[in-house]
Amino acid sequence: MSELSVISGKSSENLAKELSKKIKANFVKSEIRVFADGESKITLIGKLSKKKSIVVQSIYPPVDTNLVQALSLITKAKENSSEVVVVIPYMGYARQDREFLSGEIVTMKVLGKLFKGAGASKIIVVDIHSVMGLNYFKIKTKNITAIPDLVRYFKKLRLENPLVVSPDQGGKERARQFAKEFNLDYIALEKIRDRKTGTVKIK
């Protein structure tokens, strides 16, 4: 049996399958049954490694459902494997990395405790909204970028006179890096968010 197993969350099944082939690991599928009240019952299909498991699960909408499923997968993996690495292509709640208004909960701080408590040894995210939120995780973390892969993809399209646009100032540096690969111009819009209502204006 392989010393590695890749556990697929429902939100990232194809990615997990491709990853398991790439690194020659055991592929472990998650079978999910949803009860009438919305609860998820998860069963893992496949052999878990005693040494190292990699859980792959995006935390995009429905965010809370995918989050609880991710934590459940990590907990089960830790029962069998001495090391659990979690790959999160999209990290929900990354915008909530500080207290903007008095009384607000910094949800990334909560997630840091939850992932460690569930048994995660390391978290890998992709182009997270704000790397500041990873400071709340008292385990190893790594933010990787998909820009090189996006560059390869868009070069094949041979677009005429494209313009690289960042939807806000936070993404300006990513837009700059991407545009540099094509020797293109780029712009960054200004996003204004109402801290009470959450309404966003772009200008």
Active site positions, annotated? 191
What span, in angstroms and rounded, lies between the C-alpha atoms of 84 and 149? 26
How do strand 52-56 and strand 4-8 relate by DSSP bridges?
parallel
Contact call for residues 25 and 5 (beta carbons, < 8 A)? yes
Which amino acid, one-letter code, is at 68? V
Query: Helix (H, G, I), strand (E, B), or coil: what is residue 30?
Result: strand
What span, in angstroms and rounded, lies between the C-alpha atoms of 74 and 71? 5
Q: Where are the alpha helices (DSSP H) in 43-171?
A: 63-80, 107-118, 147-157
Contact call for residues 52 and 6 (beta carbons, < 8 A)? no
Which is nearest to 53 in space by CA: 26, 91, 30, 93? 26
- Buried residues in 142-170 as b, exposed as e (16+ CB within 10 A): ebeeeeeeeeeeeeeeeeeeeebebebee
